[in-house]
Amino acid sequence: MSKPSPSSCCVSKLISEYVGIALSPAELRAVSIGASGRCIYRGAGLLGIYWTDERADNASFLPAAHGLAAAQVPVPRIFAQSDLGDGRGVCLVEDLGELDIYSFKDASWNVCREIYRAAFRSLLALHHCEPDWPLQPPFDASLYRWEQAYFAEHFLACHLQLDSAMEIIEQRAFIELAEMIAALPRVPVHRDCQSQNIMMRDGEAWLIDFQGMRMGRPEYDIASLIYDPYMDLPAAARLELLQIWEQESAQPLDYSILSACGTQRIMQALGAFSNIGHHQGRDWYLAMIHPGLRSLRELLELNQDKSSPVEKILSCLNAANIL
């Protein structure tokens, strides 16, 4: 019999202390054993989350969870927590079940439409909150450029094996894209607002995995959710969802800004799919590259400002036969 992991031992210990009943690590069910130092287990009607300092944003989960709950943003409740030292920690959170938005991928459009409407309301609550807790460093030009370099290294160079990968993202249009978005006003954003990070329960959408939240553009989250390659929605459905977002927010979208932020987000996602698929042996992520490219093209073509760097990026990627 294999020895239980340190993460499962810590979670079982905290659950036992919280519920007052002994629970062994073997009685836990692993939900997610990530490569980022975060491990999640289900047991005794609770979720136990264990983390290390492997990623800087791991330590941001608890402050964000408490802060968002106080701001009435739908997030799971924290029942117990323990600082284990050396950047490690463990906590018990509300178990919201197993139905995320991705679970409804094959549902009827009438069902999906209302699920997204609920998600928009929760996301708007996050965008309008005023954090008084520490966030991750804000999106700025350097972070956007890091995402572009990540896209170049893992997608262009590794996956497509383009010798010109770094030359492509060193073109002035990519630098201008980063500088343009960074110069715009910022609000709190989720940072990874995709279909597997929003749980559905009782008709309400609950945000999870928000430890990477920071100040940025709301359109980054909007594009991340509506143009999510995991869901791979038809173009007509995405346009309808953009209209619903405008209804829920009571504000018109600037489609050129959405195109710019969405282009930035999907480039980052393509880099992540390639990195995880090629370097962590998780082939499922490589299957997301084709729908990711479709999302990228749709977002690039959504641009309505012909002077935007997006226009030049579209031409650049077409010339390199990437799209």
Angle, helix 218-226 to helix 235-249, in steps of 10 degrees: 140
pLDDT in tens, 41-84: 999 999 999 999 999 899 999 999 999 999 999 999 999 999 99
Whether the per-residue pLDDT at 33 is higher than 70: the answer is no
Q: Burial level of 72, CB count in 10 A (0-12/13-18/19+)?
A: exposed
Using the predicted structure, report yes or no on whether residue 2 has a pLDDT greater than 80. no
Q: What angle do CA 228, 233, 235 make, to 5 degrees?
A: 110
Confirm if 82 and 212 have CB atoms less than 8 A apart: no
Mean pLDDT of 89-102: 97
Region for residue 100 given its phi and psi (left: phi exceeds 0; alpha: psi -120 to 50; beta: otherwise): beta
- Is there a contact between 152 and 270 (Cβ–Cβ < 8 Å)? no
pLDDT at 21: 85
pLDDT > 90 fraction of the chain, expressed in percent and rounded: 94
Residue pointed to by tokens 């073509």: 301
Domains with residue ranges and CATH for the chain: 6-94 (3.30.200.20), 101-319 (3.90.1200.10)
* Strand-pair partners of 88: 85
Residue 36: pLDDT over 90: no
Provide the token pair at 273. Answer: 């799919």
Which of 20-24, 145-149, 152-156, 238-242 is predicted with the least confidence, judged by mean pLDDT?
20-24
Instruction: Encode pLDDT of 254-263 as tens digits.
Output: 999 999 999 9
Is the pLDDT assigned to residue 35 strictly greater than 70?
no
Q: Are 147 and 261 in contact (CB under 8 A)?
A: no
